[in-house]
Chain A
């Protein structure tokens, strides 16, 4: 029985075409129909943007799609059916709902094990210990939620260089809100942290030297459980990397004093966001010194600060002097590489001394500075010896030149004599 192409045939053909035609991704992906993508891809502007973005999304790559978060029925074409709230459709989740939405999967250890067993599953719980989480629960819809930092569509893993939470981008991501003075006005906290941080030595290490181990916002504040470190715990935070300084400080007389005065340990002298490279001028009693902000002239601390600065300056000066003379000798052609090598130890002593400051003990400092000075002095003597040798050579040259010229002159006289006779 010949079939004529009637409505039914056309409907079947259309159904077949729409099922297997359309975007290549659709065909390439599961055999499941996804009407969300089909319709939204054909729309314009913000309604189509998520489709494009999802191509880069890590969830998409694992086989998830729109309905896995937004609910609804992707097998239906009719918007009333596919976006039916009775089928669980959630258009644009409110900020309040987002942590739970993401947490539905990300807090489920059994579920996450199937996709990435190494991922933590306590982010949601941690989040609610943070200032953001607490405020969200209290009704503030302006705080950061999961999507504020990770994005909603097009989420990349944190290790991906293009992710907004990749170490090189974390500060910018936080700054989106925290550097916006108008946005932050009602919270009455400063909004200059990002600017300050960018000027810091940590930012220089991270952005200029591409040293990914340098701290950014989340290294000190935490990421999901973000909270400004409490006054008493700052030293522990800094001490994660600056172990020696922290240990020395904890054992020093300043620890008790700072705790009693409720001073934020490291931050009080070094700052928190705008941590600049420390200089020797921070020690001592000069105008750039941090010691004088507590220690009045004449008190024990003041004197100790003075002495410590003097020690540092002494070694630093000797080191410079020695380097200068060795450089001079080297430029004049003398070989001084051994002396220069040995000077490394003196340079190390200075570095150690600068760390040892955090013990705030003059005696301990002296124990490190003294051998350093000795080495610097020996290096200086080596430089002096090299220059003396140079001098000796020049004198030797002058003397031998005299003899040589004398000999040449005598030869000349001899020639004159021989030829005078003929």
Chain B
């Protein structure tokens, strides 16, 4: 009895100062529909969880990492060998980055195929595409930070491609590299992006994304629209289920870190020739492979410029899907489903092809 009185006293104290009653009420009412596709609902939270893992491990790495060409590689080596559990923190950071992007893609495509972008959730979708771009930027900038040979050349190739964007390409290349070539200046700049600028932007966009999700609640697939469905309370049911997933994710990360430690390779040497078979990370591979397949010139336009332009247009299309998919008739909707299937197949096939070559 006394315990409950104490809890009640705390609740009242907090509510008077922070207005927490409204939040508690909302959480109590929040519910998740149960149907055949409920499983996809977990991937957004999983991506968020892995992002939190990144923030925590990233902050820890910041205690020892040095963002200059002379010391970066050695500092990562130091973390891997001298710092207690440094190997664990660093490997988890690298693996979690990849897992996060994988779950992000699953989350995005599942939301797409369930047409969760239908009104009134258009802005949730748009903010989501921005989060995709931010995640890819995180991956690209973070990859360079150990300053090893693989990363150096992957960055060189990647920023070369950025230079192929029509009109602003040259400016973009200099902006990214901090100069004409990939140098220590690039490293410092990428570090700034990775630990300050991108996290700041992500905080804002993520907050917007999450607020919108709370505001509109979970969407259901079009076929189930209007039907009355069983619902489970978010707290504690859905959250407990989320936790199972998150706990398993921790296990997976620990296993990957111990059994497949993330390698360091050799320190970057700007004067050495590029090693054979440079590839970007897997989540950029589909773009890389596409560009490799395009001929050097297509009409009056350079092949790479054409490729980059196509991807840009594709990205813009993807972002605007909520405004384009207005199903006056069912046929329109099926077209977009088809486009989605095409994109998924394209990504998967190009990625696999990129690895095999």
Contact = CB atoms under 8 A, between A and B. Distances in A.
B244 A397 contact: no
Interface hub of B80, B88, B255, B263 (most chain A Cβ within 10 A): B255
A100 interface: no
A418 B255 contact: no
A186 interface: no
Interface stretch (B49-57, B155-163, B214-222, B233-241): B233-241
B254 A400 contact: yes
Interface stretch (A235-243, A293-301, A311-319, A403-411): A403-411
Contacts of B263: 333
Given A335-B77, A415-B237, A394 B259 contact: yes
A94 B253 CA distance: 90
Interface string A195-238: 00000000000000000000000000000000000000000000
A183 B261 CA distance: 69
B250 interface: yes
B254 A401 contact: yes
Contact of A418 (B80, B240, B261): B240
Contacts of B244: 408, 411-412, 415
Contacts of A411: 240, 243-244, 247
B248 A408 contact: yes
Contact of A419 (B77, B237, B259): B237
A352 interface: no
Nearest to B88: A393
Interface in A282-334: 332-334
Interface residues of A, number: 21
B314 interface: no
A160 interface: no
Contact of B251 (A333, A394, A404): A404
Chain B facing A: main interface SS? helix
Contacts of B254: 397, 400-401, 404
Contacts of B261: 332-333
Interface hub of A334, A396, A404, A405 (most chain B Cβ within 10 A): A404
A361 to B, nearest CB: 42
A385 interface: no
A348 to B, nearest CB: 24
B160 to A, nearest CB: 31
Interface residues of B, number: 23
Interface hub of B80, B247, B248, B257 (most chain A Cβ within 10 A): B247
A11 to B, nearest CB: 70
Contact of B258 (A396, A408, A414): A396
Given A335-B77, A397-B255, A401-B254, A408 B237 contact: no
Interface string B62-97: 000000000000000100110000011000000000
A335 B81 contact: yes
B236 to A, nearest CB: 6
B258 A397 contact: yes
Contacts of B87: 333, 393
A398 to B, nearest CB: 9
Given A333-B261, A397-B258, A415-B241, A408 B80 contact: no
Contacts of B258: 393-394, 396-397
B286 to A, nearest CB: 29
Contacts of A404: 247-248, 250-251, 254
A411 B251 CA distance: 14
A400 B256 CA distance: 13
A17 B69 CA distance: 72
A396 B254 CA distance: 10
Contacts of B77: 335, 337
Contacts of B236: 418
Contacts of A405: 248, 251
B237 A407 contact: no
Interface hub of A334, A414, A415 (most chain B Cβ within 10 A): A415
A333 B251 CA distance: 20
A415 B251 contact: no
Interface hub of A333, A393, A401, A407 (most chain B Cβ within 10 A): A333
Nearest to A419: B237
A393 B240 CA distance: 30
A323 B273 CA distance: 28
Nearest to B86: A335
A342 to B, nearest CB: 15
Interface string B32-53: 0000000000000000000000
Interface in A334-364: 334-335, 337
A414 B240 contact: yes
Nearest to A396: B258
A108 B314 CA distance: 87
Nearest to B245: A408
A405 B261 CA distance: 21
A333 B258 CA distance: 10
Interface in B250-285: 250-251, 254-255, 257-259, 261, 263
Contact of A401 (B81, B240, B251): B251
Nearest to A406: B247
Contacts of A397: 254-255, 257-259
B241 A408 contact: no
Interface in A375-422: 393-394, 396-397, 400-401, 404-405, 407-408, 411-412, 414-415, 418-419
A412 B241 CA distance: 7
B181 to A, nearest CB: 28
A178 to B, nearest CB: 44
19 contacts: A333-B87, A333-B261, A335-B81, A393-B87, A393-B88, A394-B258, A397-B254, A397-B259, A401-B254, A401-B255, A404-B247, A404-B250, A405-B248, A411-B244, A411-B247, A415-B237, A415-B241, A418-B236, A418-B240
| Those 4 A-B pairs whose CB atoms lie nearest each other, nearest first | A335-B81, A333-B261, A397-B258, A404-B251
Given A333-B261, A333-B263, A334-B81, 11 more contacts: A335-B80, A393-B88, A394-B258, A396-B258, A397-B254, A404-B254, A408-B247, A408-B251, A415-B244, A418-B236, A418-B237
